[in-house]
Chains A and B, each alone.
Chain A
Amino acid sequence: MAASPGCCHFHLSGIPVSDSPPISLPSAAEEALVERLRARDEAAMTEFYDRYAAALYGVIFRIVKAEDEAEDVLQEAMVKIWHAFASYDASKGRLFTWVVNICRNLSIDKIRSRQHRVGSRTMGLDDSLTAQRQAAPATFRPEHIGLQEITQTLIPEQRQIIDLLYFEGYTQSEVAEELDLPLGTVKTRARTAIKLLSKLIR
């Protein structure tokens, strides 16, 4: 059942896909890479980098917000992915999901271990909504899939909640407290936002 979680009914409509299909969706290339990593093929790590570095670096950078630290975390994450590969279980989720989560966890650990963490994080709080209302920063690759669709699909309040949950490592209760919203509202908004996003797929 889990062998091919919807292998064929995923395709993107209305999203400009330049050359290769999005790496966040299943593909034969991903399966081949998993096989090579499982077989402990060291050269596969180069392919891994070329395939995932931009996406992973984007996630890490959004969390740690500093280039040198983002590079450290990516490096650390790749070493960890290699050594922990035996614990990757394809029946529980896609390779991309697994590696993004490793990167998120390491990034969040990184910012939590910072001395000035409390200060730097609360600094962002006052401006977070304003920041969300602004257009995407120029560092984002405008030619890349989806960002435009995402800004069109989600209202700023929904993006803000997903950003806090996904990129800042907040729990839903923390988001509720931070935005001064009832927990139920946070739950429904998060769920609605994810539902809207999944409509971009298929």
Chain B
Amino acid sequence: MQDIQAYIESGILELYALGDLSSAERAEVEAQAARHPAVRQELTQVQAALGLYAEAHAITPPAGMRERVLGHVLANLNSPVAETPATPASRPATSSLRADVDELVQSRHAETTTSTPVLPLNAPEPVAPARSSGWAIAASVALLLSLVGNALLYNNWQQANGELVALQNDNARIAAATQANYRQQLGAMQEQNAILRNDEFRAVALAGTKAAPAAKARVLYNLATKAVYVDVKNLPALPADKQYQLWALDNGKPVDAGTLAVGTAAGDSLQHMKDIASAQAFAMTVEPAGGSVNPTLSTMTVMGAI
């Protein structure tokens, strides 16, 4: 039972629902769901949650689209493609959506290449006159095997080719993404540098409270523009459903200065917080993700006066 709970919490069901698994992994998830009602229930919930997310983003299609799409679709229901959805029974019960659809496309694709050599198996006439000549039969069988072999090799080659293209695409995209990322990081660092060198900013050291003596951070407060930046040196890590929230204390009253992104809390970079009109001190508390209206004082982690 604990194993099942661990399995559910591993996040694999989310990956399944997002279509982020290999076919072997998908088969494994489906087997688990068939075996354990708890897994099935969780998976149904995950799918329903994503379905709700999709549905919430519904867009009314443009005028005239209904007629065009339905016209095209209804005209294509009986097209030759209709021959292919055959062999649902021969398909392994474990295959999932993506595989099913891909298979369908491939079978349509491969039809031209594979169907010709395979046909004689179902249509025994040409081979039928079995004139007790073992040689003729043996030759036919050899020819058939060779044809089937060729078809398989052709299929494999095509598949490998497709995978190569996909890999090249991935490669190009990752390279471009990395570059964009570096550019972004460089821009952020230049901005931070400008803030750190700006004399208008006043650094306010925030020291750890009893709850977290090693915690340390500082606030950069621009008294002229009222801009507030936070710079973390060290803060205890939080669970995913919690966030640090910065508060300005103005005449003893806490004013929300915004929540800290995970990267900021880890000390990766400065974060621009909400503008604060006036403050004598700053403090940070631990709040539920998204932040709170009022600080939970018992979770105060760092504090410092201007």
Contact = CB atoms under 8 A, between A and B. Distances in A.
Contacts of A177: 174, 177-178, 181
A201 B176 contact: no
A27 interface: no
> Chain A's interface: helix, strand, loop or mixed, by majority?
helix
A180 B263 contact: yes
A31 interface: no
Is the interface on chain A under 10, 10 to 19, 20 to 34, or 35 or more residues?
35 or more
Interface in B35-71: 37, 40-41, 43-62, 65-66, 68-70
- Taking each of A5, A54, A121, A190, which has the highest tally of chain B beta carbons within 10 Å of its own beta carbon? A5
B204 interface: no
B19 interface: yes
A71 B73 CA distance: 12
A33 interface: no
Interface string B93-114: 1011110110010000000000
Contacts of B91: 87
A74 B263 CA distance: 39
Contacts of B241: 192
Interface in A46-80: 46, 49-50, 53-55, 57-59, 61-62, 67, 71, 74-75, 78-80
A19 interface: no
Contact of B49 (A5, A165, A171, A198): A198
Contacts of A83: 81-82, 84-85, 104
B203 interface: no
From B49, B60, B82, name the one whose CB has the most chain A CB atoms within 10 angstroms.
B49
Contact of B51 (A50, A57, A100, A158): A100
Contact of A122 (B34, B53, B177): B177
Contact of B58 (A57, A101, A162): A57
Given A190-B11, A198-B49, A2 B40 contact: yes
B286 to A, nearest CB: 15
Contacts of B59: 54, 57-58, 61, 139-141
Contacts of A190: 11, 14, 18
B106 to A, nearest CB: 12
A185 B262 contact: yes
A147 B58 CA distance: 9
Contacts of B37: 1
A4 B280 CA distance: 60
Contact of A201 (B52, B61, B70, B172): B52
Contacts of A169: 19
A75 B50 contact: no
A121 B174 CA distance: 11
22 contacts: A5-B40, A25-B48, A45-B77, A49-B73, A54-B58, A55-B58, A57-B58, A59-B57, A79-B72, A79-B73, A92-B97, A93-B97, A104-B19, A105-B19, A119-B176, A158-B289, A171-B20, A177-B178, A180-B181, A190-B18, A191-B14, A192-B240
